Amino acid sequence: MTIIGATIFSNTAADDGGGLFVNGGDVLLEESTLQGNVALQSGGAVRTVAGTLSVVRSLVISNVVLGASATGGGIDNRGAATVAESTFQSNQAWRGAAIHQS
């Protein structure tokens, strides 16, 4: 999946991936803004399982996970990841406010 120049804003997920949930496969987020998204368990903005995540020249701002042991306020990634020239700001989580990698 390739997402370029997009705004993913003010979405809510009852479980994982407030803005985007990907179960397998490669994801490129380039020159995009992920802001104000909410998830209960993991990945306020993005939750990926397996595959490769690349975040390039993007903003990940004010995303939240609400669960008592929730992870990855901005991004929760369970595969390979590359982040370049990106800003993470004011994300909230119990563990890994900006990025949780496991």
Q: What is the pLDDT of residues 39-52, one digit of tens each?
A: 999 999 999 999 99
CA-to-CA dists, residue 34 to 80, 82, 93, 99, angstroms: 20, 16, 16, 13
In the chain, % helix, strand, coil (3-state, to 5) comes to 0, 55, 45
Average pLDDT over residues 14-36: 98
Average pLDDT over residues 69-93: 98
52-70 residue pLDDT tens: 999 999 999 999 999 999 9
Percentage of the chain lying above the pLDDT 70 cut? 100
H helix intervals, the chain: none
Nearest-angstrom CA–CA distance, 76 and 65: 10
